[in-house]
Amino acid sequence: MSSNEIALRYGTNPHQTPARMFVASREMPLEVVNGAPGYINMLDLLHAWQLVKELKEAVGMPAAASFKHVSPAGAAVAVPLSETLKKAYFVDDLELTPLATAYARARGADRMSSFGDAIALSDPCDEATARIIGREVSDCVIAPGYEPAALEILKKKRDGKYLLMQVDTDYEPQPMEQRELFGITIEQRRNDAKITGEIFGNIVTKNKELPDEAKRDLLVATIALKYTQSNSVSMAIDGQIIGVGAGQQSRIHCTRLARQKAINWYLRRHPAVLGLPFKPGLGRPEKNNAIDQFLLEDMLPEAEAVWLESFTEPPKRLNPAEKKVWVDSLQGVSFSSDAFFPFRDCIECAKQIGVKYVVEPGGAVRDDIVTQACDEYGMVMAFSGIRLFTH
């Protein structure tokens, strides 16, 4: 095997063999530390690595991402966790470093979607971060390096076959990129647009107060979209994604999806959820599934019978009015879109989950109508001028 090539187990599906990854003009900037990579592993890891690298550069804090099927389930920087969030993220029994905090946030954004995730870390993986990863169901990690204690923990996963990739932080790809599809090669300049706080300078609403925390959250949301399959929108608060709507053909459907994920994220902090009487020894994936079903508006009797087996006693479920009171208390959410809003419906939808700050490229025929909707709700909206489609 040459130094510019790494064999892959198989392609997108097991019958797609052989498969490999390679670079043409230099040594491979990746190293397999443990395990054997697959095609989908590398698609997720390479997208996720770019996200956390760019996020750390933009925000100046350690960053982490939880990736599934070439879109982030969660992404975050190392804003300290409250005791409530530590409990909701199942890390209240651990000492957390900044990097571990970033991954706990990224994993906690959408724990159902993060099951079996690909993980990207902006900094060398330390022991505290490895302890979180070691007890969650995940597929692989990419990082600039691994502390010896972290390696010892992670190499025990999957009977020693857990995939660990190390990346050269100095590697910069060529400006042009190619993709072969159906035997035809297409080429473009890679998306090297810089996402910095400067893109929020063109505020078009009457309310122009954009605090530093909101700028940080808009950076998290917008950089995440750069590596999310389009159409896409994302919502963020406290330095982390709380809802992503990815790969939908309609922007309002993206927004509804992101809103529902954000609602579920916030409801996981409700005392009724934090106090659920789980049976001793119930695993984290089973708890996540039980919480997800607990938050459903209705459930088939057969499913409810199985669900009740997760608890020592039947829990009292939240009614719609109780949920609404709780969700209405969430305010100050940041909302980013990878392309313009064609109608005001996305703004109205976002208002239902406490969105206060909005960024989108602008340039639509109905920009004035969207701006008017933001003004009606007292939102701050900036036109970035940068479309961030990913395909």
Q: Is residue 303 one of the residues assigned to a domain?
A: yes
Establish if 38 belongs to a structural domain: yes
For residues 189 and 303, membership in a common domain is answered with no
Whether the link from the prior residue into 231 is cis, omega within 30° of 0, is yes
Catalytic residue among 34, 41, 231, 264: 231
Distance, in Å, from the CA atom of 294 to the CA atom of 4, rounded to the nearest integer, reads 50
Are 239 and 373 contained in the same domain?
yes
Closest CA to 351 of 325, 320, 378: 378
The single residue of 69, 87, 253, 287 carrying the catalytic annotation is 69
Could you tell me if 256 and 109 lie in one domain? no
Identify whether 68 is a catalytic site residue.
yes
Q: Provide the terminal-to-terminal Cα distance of the chain, rounded to the nearest Å.
A: 31
Q: Which residue has the tokens 């706990």?
A: 104
Give 142-151 pLDDT, tens digit per residue.
Answer: 999 999 999 9
**Integer Cα distance of 106 and 109 in angstroms:** 6
Which pair of structure tokens corresponds to residue 31? Answer: 């190293």
**Same-domain check for residues 285 and 246:** no
Do 12 and 112 belong together in one domain?
yes
107 and 131 belong to one structural domain: yes
Q: Is 270 tagged catalytic?
A: no
**Domain around 312:** 271-317
Strand 30-34 with 163-167, pairing: antiparallel
Residues 284 and 262 in one domain: no
Residue at a domain's end among 172, 202, 222 = 172
Say which of 15, 316, 319, 391 is annotated catalytic.
391
Number of domains the chain is built from? 3
**Residue 60 and residue 153 share a domain:** yes
Q: What is the largest CA-CA distance in the chain?
A: 63
Q: In degrees, to the nearest 5, what angle opens at C-alpha 153 toward C-alphas 151 and 156?
A: 100
CATH of the domain at 190: 3.40.140.20
Counting as low any pLDDT under 70, the low residues of the chain are: 1-2
What's the token pair of residue 305? Answer: 């019978």
pLDDT > 70: what percent of the chain? 99
DSSP string, 168-218: -TT----SEEEEEETTEEEEEE-------GGGG--B-SS-----HHHHHHH
Q: Which is the catalytic residue, given 47, 56, 68, 86?
A: 68
- Per-residue confidence (pLDDT) for residue 1, from 0 to 100: 43
- Both 19 and 121 in one domain: the answer is yes
Residue 391 falls in the annotated catalytic set: yes
Residues 49 and 127 placed together within one structural domain of the fold: yes
DSSP character for 311?
B
Residue 26: what pLDDT?
81
In a domain, 11, yes or no: yes
Are 259 and 379 within one domain?
yes
Domain membership of residue 149 (yes or no) is yes
Q: How far is CA 327 from CA 161, 238, 352, 354, 355, in A?
A: 42, 16, 8, 8, 12
Shared domain check, 111 and 52: yes
Backbone dihedral angles phi then psi of residue 272, each to the nearest 5 degrees: -65, -35
**pTM as predicted:** 0.95
